[in-house]
Structure 1
Amino acid sequence: MSNDRISAADPGEPIDVTPPVWAASPDDPDEDQGPRPPMSQRRRIVLASVAAVGVAGLAAVGIWGGRIISQQDPTMSTPASVAGLQLNNSADAAATAEDLKAAFAAGIDLKKSVGAVYTDPAATDRSVLFFGGTALLWSPAKELDTLFGLVGDESGAVDGLHEVPAGDLGGVMKCGTTAVDDGSNMAVCGWADHGATGMALFPSRPTEEAAGLMREMRDAVQSRD
């Protein structure tokens, strides 16, 4: 064969004989598919920590969901007597109860609401004004703070607001004081859980006494199936 038949390519340039990627056989060994190195200790710790956080998060969601289910759809009533107090059925008391319902219901969406005035047989100036209602409350503490804000709008800021034991029904309960027309302070207590909320005004009572009376009232007016 004559040299005239040789390709015109520069005979001094090396020829690349590496097969293109698409021409590689699927059976060819691939070093990326070889055995992986063992997982480092740091990576195992990180993954274990993430898994632990995930499990804890699921557990917290489960507890929160169980609490909602156990507290939803309660019954709210105003019995004739509560913790030694008597329900006042007079026209003035009924009008006051309606005013309470209207004032508080404007700030929170409730399925059912009740209002009542309870008279202390031992002292007429220690009557308790009560409001309560049922609803699915995703954030009881936030809803309770909203109610305290409404009390502040009506009669001045609620001072010294602090959390107190909520009792066997759970949820959150707080008490504070608000000023009245004669310059004295009146105790205010309220509670909220995932199914209900309630608040009461306690003239001529210290907050410690009001907190205990609020728990007794709650046990009487709120019930769960």
Structure 2
Amino acid sequence: MPEPGPNPIDIGTPPPASNDEDADLLHPDDLQATAKAKPRGLVRRVLISILLVLAVVAVAMLGFTSWRIIAQRHAELEIQPSVGPLSLDYSQEGASTADYLRTALAAEVDLDRTYGAVYKEAPDKNVLFLAGTGLIWTPGQDLDAAMNLISDEEGAVTDLKDVEAGPLDGTMKCGVTKSADGDLTVCGWADHGSLALAMFNNRTPEEAAPLMLALRNATETR
């Protein structure tokens, strides 16, 4: 009788065949979808980062604007008897003109207090000065509105250019307008607490700008 052979080797139970659901996990379409999802996620992160940067910039600008308003809103003006080569005109005509200028500015711009003055340097050179104080939210726009006051009386102020505003900051501009006696140079400044205009005869804008800055430095304090 033959000898019994060796015991068969147990190779275990074969793994079950993968079903359709498991096969789908490795489907090429899924791989493409995953590849597309990565760029979309990157774009989303970039957009979020940009929005965060814009928010930080906006907050910084708001803080800077608020600081400027607080720093400038309590401006005070005092008409000086003389500024450089200019001397205040105390005549009746000068006082009447100054009062007219003050009233005209008060009607054009919402200010708490207004001032007017006429300065003379020589018989053929004078300066009509009008100014006021109050909380001004948009200095540049209010200065343009005040320039319209000159436009109504003499003609449009043209060739307006930004000039040095000095240590008091804000905005300052000079331009030219027509009058019956020839060209007048018009300069003005505005900040969050004050606004002023001055008309110079027989002076170019380049000559009037430093004189306007001297008027401001002598007249305005905070």
Query: Is TM > 0.5 for Structure 1 vs Structure 2?
Result: yes
AA aligned to 2:195 is T
State the superposition RMSD in angstroms: 1.5
Q: Using the alignment, how far apart are the partners of 2:221 and 2:81 within structure 1?
A: 16
Q: Using the alignment, how far apart are the partners of 2:106 and 2:44 within structure 1?
A: 54
Residue 166 of structure 1 is matched in structure 2 by: 165
Q: Using the alignment, how far apart are the partners of 1:217 and 1:77 within structure 2?
A: 10
> Secondary structure at 1:170's aligned position in 2?
coil
AA aligned to 1:100 is L
Q: How many angstroms does 1:165 deviate by?
A: 1.6
Q: How many angstroms does 1:145 deviate by?
A: 0.3
Q: Is the 8 A contact 2:77 2:221 kept in 1?
A: yes
Q: Using the alignment, how far apart are the partners of 2:180 and 2:43 within structure 1?
A: 67
> Secondary structure at 2:130's aligned position in 1?
strand
Residue 45 of structure 1 is matched in structure 2 by: 46
Q: TM-score, normalised by structure 2?
A: 0.80
Gaps of 5+ in 2: 1-36
Q: Using the alignment, how far apart are the partners of 1:145 and 1:64 within structure 2?
A: 20
Q: Using the alignment, how far apart are the partners of 1:83 and 1:62 within structure 2?
A: 37
Work out whether 1:194 is the aligned partner of 2:195.
no
AA aligned to 2:186 is V
Work out whether 1:113 is the aligned partner of 2:114.
yes
Work out whether 1:145 is the aligned partner of 2:144.
yes
Residue 21 of structure 1 is matched in structure 2 by: none
Residue 216 of structure 2 is matched in structure 1 by: 218
Residue 68 of structure 1 is matched in structure 2 by: 69
Q: Using the alignment, how far apart are the partners of 1:109 and 1:42 within structure 2?
A: 49
Q: How many angstroms does 1:41 deviate by?
A: 2.3
Q: Using the alignment, how far apart are the partners of 2:91 and 2:213 within structure 1?
A: 25
Q: How many angstroms does 1:54 deviate by?
A: 0.5
Identity among equivalent positions (%) equals 42
Q: How many angstroms does 1:135 deviate by?
A: 1.1
Q: Using the alignment, how far apart are the partners of 2:64 and 2:162 within structure 1?
A: 22
Residue 16 of structure 1 is matched in structure 2 by: none
Between Structure 1 and Structure 2, which shows a larger proportion of helix residues? 2
Q: How many angstroms does 1:167 deviate by?
A: 1.3
Residue 180 of structure 1 is matched in structure 2 by: 179
Q: Using the alignment, how far apart are the partners of 1:141 and 1:176 within structure 2?
A: 15
> Secondary structure at 2:128's aligned position in 1?
strand
Runs of 4+ aligned structure 1 residues displaced above 3 Å come to none
AA aligned to 1:165 is E
Residue 5 of structure 2 is matched in structure 1 by: none
In the TM superposition, what are the counterparts of 1:122-133 in structure 2 within 5 Å? Answer: 123-133=122-132
Q: Using the alignment, how far apart are the partners of 1:49 and 1:70 within structure 2?
A: 31
> Secondary structure at 2:108's aligned position in 1?
coil
1:22-44 CA deviation, whole Å, 9 max, x = no partner? Answer: xxxxxxxxxxxxxxx99932222
Work out whether 1:99 is the aligned partner of 2:97.
no
Q: Using the alignment, how far apart are the partners of 1:112 and 1:145 within structure 2?
A: 19
* Worse overlay, 43-52 or 202-211: 43-52
Gaps of 5+ in 1: 1-36
